[in-house]
């Protein structure tokens, strides 16, 4: 029997003849009728791991970066951290907890919002790893203190928060999370938020934005649509549903300008737009060859606008897998970078396990930086996750493991989990992008110091 989301997709196809891949992906992941992320039964860690679910040291190191950002903003009495795509809440828990342990003044000022389509608060078994803040001052009570927490209150209304509170003061205690002071907000993106002074943060969010798929055929950009043939979902190529697909490729120097792309000028000046993108030499490289297939993330455009409107002053920290455009759209990736995860099995087939598997795509960081530039969000840092964490003191946490008095087995387990954060085969080659809005925030951030 077909799932509700599968039926929804087929009904859409029946009505329209075919749908864009982005519409298909949107339904698979976010349909209220059983999309992967809308189904409460789909605990994320049952299908794949992420850095924060691997080890809380990830959050502790980000807390160090947040502390510097707070200082750069002049130690405001209320420092907003708005985490979008907070998933099971692992990063929120580890960051807030680390702030209380390492930076109590910041913890006092911290106003942490965990926002998601479906904000959950699940204690991951992975979080039973004991860890320390690097100063050897004892075990983290993270697991113990979080256990038994009564986090069942009504979800905080994003609208009330954004419109009523205007982010000027601290929320009343009754509206705050009983344990850690985290607001959980059910929301799509950032539309409801304004007046953020602090940091907007996301880990593995943008790779989940629905993408348009394209193919180069007959020397032209065609789009991949999803239709049904003989009861099976299948792909067809046709004229793009939006000129923005070709415009994006043209702006990246990947495809010659077409009449529509030339006129629209939607994508700004030719890349590179910022010093951070130095070394990316797209101009002059041959355009994508016949048969090349790939993806374009148009949703990033709206997302960047939302970021700019929500953030008054401060930083945006984006952590995800992806590359600068020249590497992302290389010949090596000539069938695109779309990947699916179902119960820790990786595949490239989005048409199986509909609503039961994650669908992701690598992030084009070049376009993210350029879109930011156009919205007044300056790129102030771009590096590998392993470099970012190393700069923030990863090795001191690793060393501290030896002084915890843990059993040899637990030390080894914890060490293994920590090492995934910097291992290039795991999360180490993820990218970290910092953008800033506001005067005087261009100073070098600790996580991005060039070695
Ligand atoms: C791959 S999970 C990452 C979860 C978490 N950040 C982590 O690293 O463990 C992506 C999360 O982003 C959420 N999400 C995707 N698009 C969103 C949007 N536009 N607004 C809010 N949440 C979104 C999904 O519901 C999901 O929980």
Return all residues near 174 (Cβ < 8 A) that are at least 6 apart.
Answer: none
Q: Are 296 and 224 within 8 A, CB to CB?
A: no
Distance between Cα 69 and ligand 1 center (Å): 23
Q: Say yes or no: 51 and 198 in one domain.
A: yes
Instruction: Show the tokens assigned to 47.
Output: 């299908």
Sign of CA dihedral 212, 216, 220, 226: negative
* Cβ of residue 50 lying under 6 Å from some atom of ligand 1: yes
Give the pLDDT of residue 441.
Answer: 79
Verify that 337 and 420 share a domain, yes or no. Answer: no
> Does 301 reside within a domain?
no
Closest-CA residue to 303 (of 363, 343, 344)? 363
Which of ligand 1's atoms lies nearest the C-alpha of 90?
Answer: 9
Give the Å distance between the CA of 391 and the centre of ligand 1: 26
- Tell me the HSE value of 347 on the side-chain side, using a 13 A CA sphere: 13
Tell me which residue of 217, 255, 254, 259 sits closest to 236, measured CA to CA.
217
DSSP state of 442: -
Query: Which of ligand 1's atoms lies nearest the C-alpha of 30?
Result: 25
**Domain count for the chain:** 2
pLDDT given at position 405: 85
Q: Are residues 394 and 429 in the same domain?
A: yes
255 and 202, same structural domain? no
> Is the shortest distance between the CB of 56 and ligand 1 below 6 Å?
no
Same-domain check for residues 111 and 190: yes
Q: Is residue 62 part of a domain?
A: yes
Q: Are residues 53 and 117 in the same domain?
A: yes
CB 44 within 8 A of CB 76: no
170 and 248 inside one domain = no
443 C-alpha to center of ligand 1: Å? 29
326, 413: one domain: no
Q: Give burial (CB, 10 Å; 0-12/13-18/19+) of 6.
A: buried
Same domain, 115 and 257: no
3-state helix, strand, coil in the chain (%, to 5): 35, 20, 40
Q: Give mean pLDDT, residues 48-68.
A: 95
- How would you write 177-208 as a 3-class SS string? CCCCCEEEEECCCCCCCCCEEEEEEEECCHHH
Picking from 86-100, 263-277, 324-338, which range would have the lowest pLDDT averaged per residue? 263-277
The β-bridge relationship of strands 311-320 and 431-437 is antiparallel
Measured from the CB, is residue 93 less than 6 Å from ligand 1?
A: no
Nearest-CA neighbor of 300 among 223, 364, 383?
Answer: 364
Question: Do 353 and 379 share a structural domain?
Answer: no
Q: How far is the CA of 296 from the centre of ligand 1 (A)?
A: 19
Q: Which of 59, 115, 126, 208 to mutate to test the pocket of ligand 1 (most atoms within 8 A of CB)?
A: 208
pLDDT digits (tens, 9 = 90+) for 94-153: 999 999 999 999 999 999 999 998 877 665 433 333 333 333 332 232 222 222 222 222
Answer whether residue 42 shows pLDDT above 80: no
Kindly state if the Cβ of 42 falls inside 6 Å of ligand 1. no
Query: Is 314 contained in some domain?
Result: no
> Model-level pTM?
0.86
Nearest alpha-carbon partner for 403 in 19, 131, 178: 131
Among candidate residues 332, 361, 390, the one where a domain is terminated: 361
Least confident range of 93-107, 166-180, 309-323: 166-180
- What DSSP character marks residue 44? G
Are both 227 and 169 inside the same structural domain? no
Distance, in Å, from the CA atom of 385 to the CA atom of 448, rounded to the nearest integer, reads: 10
Domain range holding 419? Answer: 44-207+367-439
Residues 342, 409, single domain; the answer is: no
């Amino acid at each position: 029997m077909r799932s509700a989301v599968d039926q929804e997709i087929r009904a859409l196809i029946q009505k329209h003849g075919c749908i864009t891949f982005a519409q298909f992906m949107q339904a698979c992941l976010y349909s209220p009728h059983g999309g992967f992320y809308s189904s409460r039964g789909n605990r994320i860690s049952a299908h794949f791991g992420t850095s924060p679910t691997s080890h809380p040291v990830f959050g502790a190191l980000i807390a160090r970066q947040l502390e510097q950002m707070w200082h750069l903003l002049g130690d405001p009495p209320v420092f907003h951290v708005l985490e979008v795509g907070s998933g099971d809440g692992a990063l929120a828990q580890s960051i807030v907890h680390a702030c209380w342990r390492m930076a109590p003044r910041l913890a006092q000022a911290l106003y942490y919002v965990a926002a998601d389509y479906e904000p959950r608060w699940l204690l991951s078994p992975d979080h039973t790893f004991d860890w320390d803040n690097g100063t050897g001052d004892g075990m983290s009570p993270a697991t113990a203190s979080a256990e038994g927490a009564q986090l069942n209150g009504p979800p905080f209304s994003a609208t009330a928060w954004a419109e009523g509170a205007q982010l000027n003061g601290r929320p009343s205690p009754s509206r705050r999370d009983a344990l850690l002071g985290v607001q959980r907000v059910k929301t799509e993106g950032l539309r409801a938020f304004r007046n953020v002074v602090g940091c907007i943060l996301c880990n593995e969010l943008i790779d989940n934005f629905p993408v348009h798929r394209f193919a180069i055929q007959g020397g032209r950009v065609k789009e991949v649509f999803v239709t049904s043939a003989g009861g099976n979902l299948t792909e067809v190529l046709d004229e793009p549903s939006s000129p923005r697909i070709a415009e994006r490729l043209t702006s990246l120097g990947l495809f010659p300008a077409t009449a529509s792309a030339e006129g629209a000028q939607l994508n700004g000046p030719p890349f590179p737009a910022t010093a951070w993108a130095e070394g990316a030499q797209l101009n002059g490289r041959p355009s994508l060859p016949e048969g090349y297939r790939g993806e374009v993330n148009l949703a990033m455009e709206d997302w960047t606008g939302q970021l700019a409107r929500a953030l008054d002053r401060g930083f945006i920290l984006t952590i995800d897998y992806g590359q600068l455009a020249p590497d992302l759209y290389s010949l090596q990736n000539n069938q695109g970078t779309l990947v699916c995860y179902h119960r820790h099995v990786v595949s490239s087939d989005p048409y199986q396990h509909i609503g039961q598997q994650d669908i992701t795509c690598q992030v084009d960081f070049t376009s993210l930086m350029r879109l930011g530039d156009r919205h007044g969000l300056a790129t102030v840092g771009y590096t590998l996750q392993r470099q970012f964490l190393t700069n923030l003191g990863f090795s001191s946490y690793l060393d501290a493991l030896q002084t915890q008095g843990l059993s040899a087995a637990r030390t080894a387990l914890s060490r293994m989990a920590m090492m995934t954060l910097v291992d290039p085969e795991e999360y180490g080659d993820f990218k970290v992008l910092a953008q800033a809005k506001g005067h005087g925030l261009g100073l070098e951030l600790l996580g991005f110091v060039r070695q």
